[in-house]
């Protein structure tokens, strides 16, 4: 089975049975081992942290400028605010789980965290 971050989300447990079948307590909820070296995880955490901080900062700036300046409140700029708001939500919710996992050298959340990570990233990215 794929040893990536979402073993519990793939429909089959480590034992090979269906997802609803009885299973041992912690089987398939955590990755069996790190996929990358610790240095690679550090670089990924740095990259994701940078993307998250830039995404939050830039999108907050767009929202504040839209709110502050009356002449920016046009229908075209409203589309930009929509994109900025959804990108802000992706930066806050989509990057956070993966960033923390990179700091810990592997996926640290259970299958519910995996589902939430995928759902929130898909939902907020599709709002654009």
Whether residue 64 lies inside any domain: the answer is yes
Whether residue 122 lies inside any domain: the answer is yes
Question: What are the pLDDT digits (tens) for 23-44?
Answer: 555 445 555 677 889 899 999 9
Largest CA distance in the chain: 61
Whether residue 112 lies inside any domain: the answer is yes
Report how many domains make up the chain: 1
Q: Which pLDDT value is given to residue 22?
A: 56
Whether residue 37 lies inside any domain: the answer is no
Contacts of 39 (CB under 8 A, 6+ apart): none
CA distances for 9 relative to 27, 46, 117, angstroms:
12, 26, 11
* Counts for the chain of helices (H) and strands (E), in that order: 4, 0
Whether residue 30 lies inside any domain: the answer is no
Which H helix or E strand runs over 116? helix 111-126
Whether residue 45 lies inside any domain: the answer is no
CA distances for 125 relative to 33, 79, 83, 86, 88, angstroms:
30, 14, 9, 6, 10
Q: Which stretches of the chain drop beneath a pLDDT of 50?
A: 1-4, 7-8, 10-14, 26-27
C-beta of residue 28 within 8 angstroms of C-beta of residue 14:
yes
Q: What is the pTM of this model?
A: 0.68
Q: Which pLDDT value is given to residue 53?
A: 96
Q: Which pLDDT value is given to residue 19?
A: 54
Structure tokens at 85: 């708001």
As a whole number of angstroms, the distance between CA 71 and CA 29 comes to 51
Whether residue 33 lies inside any domain: the answer is no
Whether residue 102 lies inside any domain: the answer is yes
Domain ranges, residue 92? 59-126
């Amino acid at each position: 089975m794929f040893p990536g971050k979402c073993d519990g989300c793939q429909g089959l447990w480590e034992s090979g049975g269906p997802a609803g079948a009885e299973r041992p307590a912690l089987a398939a909820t955590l990755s069996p081992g790190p996929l990358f070296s610790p240095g690679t995880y550090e670089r990924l955490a740095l990259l994701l942290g940078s993307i998250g901080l830039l995404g939050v900062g830039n999108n907050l700036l767009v929202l504040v400028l839209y709110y502050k300046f009356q002449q920016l409140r046009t229908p075209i700029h409203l589309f930009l605010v929509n994109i900025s708001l959804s990108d802000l939500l992706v930066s806050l919710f989509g990057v956070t789980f993966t960033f923390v996992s990179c700091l810990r050298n592997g996926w640290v959340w259970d299958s519910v965290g995996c589902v939430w990570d995928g759902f929130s990233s898909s939902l907020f990215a599709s709002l654009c």
